[in-house]
Amino acid sequence: MDFEQLAAEYSNMIHSIIHSLHIYKNQDDFYQIGLIALWDASKNFDEQKGKFSTYAYSFIKGRILTALKNEKRHDDHSFYPDEEYWNLLNCDTRLLEKEMLLSYFHHLTEREEKWVLQRFYYGLSNREIAEMEKMHLTTVRSCERRAMQKVVALN
């Protein structure tokens, strides 16, 4: 008998084992594990020792139980942070981004550095920067031009 016929014949058994173990997640994965176990059982079976169906059932169930145990061990050792953790991480990341951005512009004047932060870190337009800093738009644009010239000169 070829394996396709064997798989079709024992498909219900594999599904039954999955159901009896109350597996509700990753059922397709466990079905595949069952099929591989069926393949291995068909290769390892000794006709002198009993019925194949009994051997296959215990072999498949054992393999699926082992996979469940390994998945449980993996889940127990894995860390799945909650939303609060990601929010805290996001705050720390923003600070690192700011520090990294400033490290590229350490040679700028205080006003140019302020422009860089407002433009690239906070995403403000030159007009918004001018309004916020109570400066003329032309002053902000000249600050931008000087800052960008210094950055280009370094590269």
Q: What is the dihedral sign for C-alpha 10, 11, 15, 21? A: positive
Write the single-letter amino acid at 134.
K
Lookup: tokens for 96 = 């690192």
CA nearest neighbour of 12 among 31, 39, 33: 31
2-26 pLDDT, tens digit each:
889 999 999 999 999 999 999 988 8
CATH fold for domain 3-77: Rna Polymerase Sigma Factor; Chain: A (1.10.1740)
* Structure confidence by residue, pLDDT tens digits, 54-67: 999 999 999 999 99
- Domain coordinates in residue numbering, the chain: 3-77, 97-154
pLDDT in the model for residue 155: 58
Model confidence over 69-94: pLDDT tens digits? 998 888 777 766 666 665 665 555 56
Q: Quote the tokens at residue 121.
A: 């870190």
Q: State how far the Cα of 109 lies from the Cα of 129, in Å rounded to an integer.
A: 16
Cβ atoms of 107 and 154 within 8 Å: the answer is yes
Q: Which CATH class is domain 97-154?
A: mainly alpha
